[in-house]
């Protein structure tokens, strides 16, 4: 950790304080790494900072996550063109294409209705990753969600419906029109070579037997491998050690999303996000013309949706470790690193807990002298409460007086409103929702000085293009 802080201190001086002359300052970035903490709003960063600090034996509030020391920071407006509070498909599309669009669509302009195959075919958007490939750069994506999930899909797919991860929900008529599911698009790239490396979860979207494809005999990965000897498939952390230089790599480490870090078993074969990041950077570094890499900490979002802030904070902690891994592996003279979120969550950190109060515990306030009370504080009904909670979600309280809340990493935090929505398969979903406030964008490296003020989310695309000198 001391080595990392030294790296960051030097990098910050180079990027911000040393004021290099124009002759010394790089004209453009060779590489760009876009880190997206899915659902990692400012309240999540704050709570994760404290959580990570407390896990190191500190009070927590004084701690910083690695990316919080980047010299350039902006606030980002996240709304979709048709929603005040956004979803991940529309927000990731804004970052990847430079165009804000509807919720639920992947690299499709807002002129097309969600779910319209014909509209999507008529109104495609071109992601930065595709331009990068055309210009000779290597491209990669790693995630802890299914590789076909909304955010990673924006690196390689176009779809009017984010739920078309396999052909399960795609009609024969839509297929006949020319629309394809997201897994199919990953394994049938337009340029034949496709992404240089793509790793995450979601094996079930690529196969029929034991998976989600209509044809029980379908195996898109086997077909993809058979089409070229320059392709490699991995499905364990150990397999990351044997990646062939120059090969196009797909890694799928779980049937659906990868396990929550908080639920990982000692004998798991799944890699951590930091391991995926290291493997991807090492693999892409061989490109003579540079690379583009998206790294998504996708299960931060899922921890919030199920009302478990402990899960979300552990995932954010792992996400920060992935950023640290990248910092130790790249040259910040030629690599732009951006760290942001696609949206925030209805997650709060409130009350008046004393300094160093366990972030996932009951609130203990200070007395009139400013010293910690001997026992947890109580509400007007005499019930203790936590400092973290949600405006809505599965922990919604429906009784009076309110029951005493659970605490700790595995607990469901209490919430206010018992929301319910309908999933694509018709089942009910009472998960906690996103929120609409701005998220932060942290930047270091060539082009990072453009990250300042309050910006529209699609400006991130412009910042990356400008950093490359395009």
Which two tokens mark 464?
């990356």
DSSP 262: G
Closest C-alpha to 257, from 148, 120, 107: 148
> What's the CA gap between 299 and 313, in Å, rounded?
10
Residue at token pair 């640290």: 324
What b/e sequence results for 218-240 when a residue is b if at least 16 CB atoms lie within 10 Å of its CB, and e otherwise?
A: bbbbeebbeeeeebbebbebebb
H or E segment to which residue 252 belongs: strand 248-252
Half-sphere exposure of 63 (CA within 13 A, CB side): 24
Judge contact between 20 and 14, C-beta under 8 A. yes
- Is 88 among the catalytic positions? yes
Burial class (CB in 10 A: 0-12, 13-18, 19+), 462: middle
Report the Cα–Cα distance between both ends of the chain, in Å, rounded.
Answer: 36
Which two tokens mark 274?
């930091």
Q: Which strands sit side by side in the sheet containing 439-444, from one edge to the other?
A: 231-234, 248-252, 197-201, 138-146, 291-297, 31-37, 335-340, 439-444, 72-77, 454-456
Strands 434-435 and 344-345: antiparallel
> What's the CA gap between 374 and 432, in Å, rounded?
33
Strands 428-429 and 421-422: antiparallel
Catalytic member of 88, 166, 287, 387: 88
Give catalytic residue positions. 88
């Amino acid at each position: 950790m001391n080595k990392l802080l030294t790296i960051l201190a030097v990098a910050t001086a180079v990027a911000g304080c040393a004021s290099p002359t124009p002759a010394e300052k790089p004209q453009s970035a060779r590489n760009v790494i876009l880190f997206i903490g899915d659902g990692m709003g400012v309240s999540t960063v704050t709570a994760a900072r404290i959580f990570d600090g407390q896990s190191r034996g500190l009070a927590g509030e004084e701690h910083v996550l690695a990316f919080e020391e980047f010299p350039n920071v902006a606030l980002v407006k996240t709304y979709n063109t048709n929603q005040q509070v956004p979803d991940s498909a529309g927000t990731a599309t804004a970052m990847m294409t430079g165009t804000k669009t509807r919720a639920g669509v992947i690299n499709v302009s807002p002129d097309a209705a969600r779910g319209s195959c014909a509209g999507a075919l008529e109104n495609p958007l071109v992601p930065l990753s595709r331009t990068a490939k055309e210009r000779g750069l290597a491209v990669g994506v790693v995630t802890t969600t299914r590789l076909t999930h909304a955010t990673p899909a924006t690196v390689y797919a176009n779809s009017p419906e984010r739920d078309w991860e396999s052909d399960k929900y795609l009609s024969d008529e839509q297929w006949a029109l020319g629309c394809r599911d997201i897994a199919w698009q990953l394994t049938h790239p337009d340029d034949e070579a496709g992404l240089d490396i793509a790793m995450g979860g979601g094996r079930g979207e690529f196969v029929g037997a034991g998976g989600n494809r209509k044809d029980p005999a379908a195996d898109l990965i086997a077909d993809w491998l058979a089409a070229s000897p320059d392709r490699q498939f991995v499905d364990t952390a150990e397999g990351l050690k044997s990646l062939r230089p120059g090969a196009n790599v797909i890694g799928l480490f779980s049937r659906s999303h990868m396990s929550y870090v908080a639920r990982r078993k000692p004998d798991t074969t799944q890699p951590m996000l930091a391991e995926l990041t290291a493997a991807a950077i090492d693999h892409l570094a061989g490109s003579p013309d540079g690379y583009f890499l998206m790294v998504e900490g996708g299960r931060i979002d899922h921890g919030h949706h199920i009302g478990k802030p402990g899960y979300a904070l552990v995932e954010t902690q792992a996400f920060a470790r992935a950023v640290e891994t990248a910092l130790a592996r790249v040259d910040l003279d030629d690599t732009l690193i951006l760290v942001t979120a696609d949206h925030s969550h209805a997650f709060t950190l409130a009350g008046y807990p004393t300094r160093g109060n366990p972030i996932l515990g009951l609130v203990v306030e200070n007395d009139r002298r400013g010293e910690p009370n001997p026992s947890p504080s109580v509400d007007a009904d005499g019930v203790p409460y936590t400092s973290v909670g949600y405006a809505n979600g599965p922990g919604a309280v429906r009784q009076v007086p309110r029951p005493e809340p659970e605490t700790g990493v595995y607990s469901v935090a209490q919430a206010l409103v018992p929301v319910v929505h309908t999933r694509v398969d018709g089942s009910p979903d009472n998960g906690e929702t996103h929120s609409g406030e701005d998220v932060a964008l942290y930047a270091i490296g060539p082009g990072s000085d453009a990250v300042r003020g309050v910006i529209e989310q699609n400006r991130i695309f412009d910042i990356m293009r400008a950093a490359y000198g395009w």
